[in-house]
Amino acid sequence: MPKPTFFNLPQEKRTKIIEEAVNEFRDNNYDAASINKIVERSGISKGSFYQYFNDKEDVYLYIMSLIAEKKIEYLTPSMMNFSQLGFYEALREMYRSAIQFALANPDYLEIGNRMMRDNSGMIQKLRSVFGSKGDDMFVTLLRKGQESGEIRQDLDLQMAAKMLISMQMSIVEYYFEKHRDKGYSMEIINELEKFFDVLKNGIS
């Protein structure tokens, strides 16, 4: 995450640095992304960059955290209606809204596409850094499922939340294996429907 010196900058300068970092990670895989290009287009020196961030990974993770925050803001109106939906319908709506968020933000979408195709290991890094935020969201959803009688009362919600997140990522990875050149699209819903079927009905 950024150093305190970054947050002491004027808002306009901070915005410019982040915009150029987003552009660089949009246009290049993580390994190919260049700090030199970010600082050149931002109008700052390389020395200044290292006063604001530790390294390329630091600025990348910060960008991903900003995207995650905006995604949660986008999902919030849908989540407000979850009490009127069953567990599986609420889960489906959450995934659908997440895909719509990606499609509505093409720069973020391309960063996500590159991440899913990348071999830098950043997916695992992102899981370790941001996993707990996802856990909380799924625990809340599972608890609502218990209240509606769709989810077992004796279920370990923390464990189930981690399983759901891992399975969700596996489905997206499976989609990219099948449609590597196509990238993220609403067609992921088709794969998720198969996931919902297994989740609800098991494999027996």
Whole-angstrom Cα distance, residue 162 to residue 158? 6
70-117: per-residue pLDDT in tens?
A: 988 887 776 666 667 778 888 888 888 888 888 889 999 889 888 877
Q: Measured between alpha carbons, how far is 186 from 92 in angstroms, rounded to an integer?
A: 12
Regions of the chain short of the pLDDT cut 50: none
161 and 78 in contact (C-beta within 8 Å)? no
Residues 6+ apart with CB under 8 A from 34: 24, 28
How far is residue 159's CA from residue 165's CA, in Å, rounded to a whole number? Answer: 10
Residue 181: its pLDDT value, please?
66
- The C-alpha atoms of residue 71 and residue 38 are separated, in whole angstroms, by 24
Say which residues have a Cβ less than 8 Å from residue 75's Cβ, sequence separation at least 6. Answer: 94, 97, 98, 101
CATH superfamily of 4-201: Tetracycline Repressor, domain 2 (1.10.357.10)
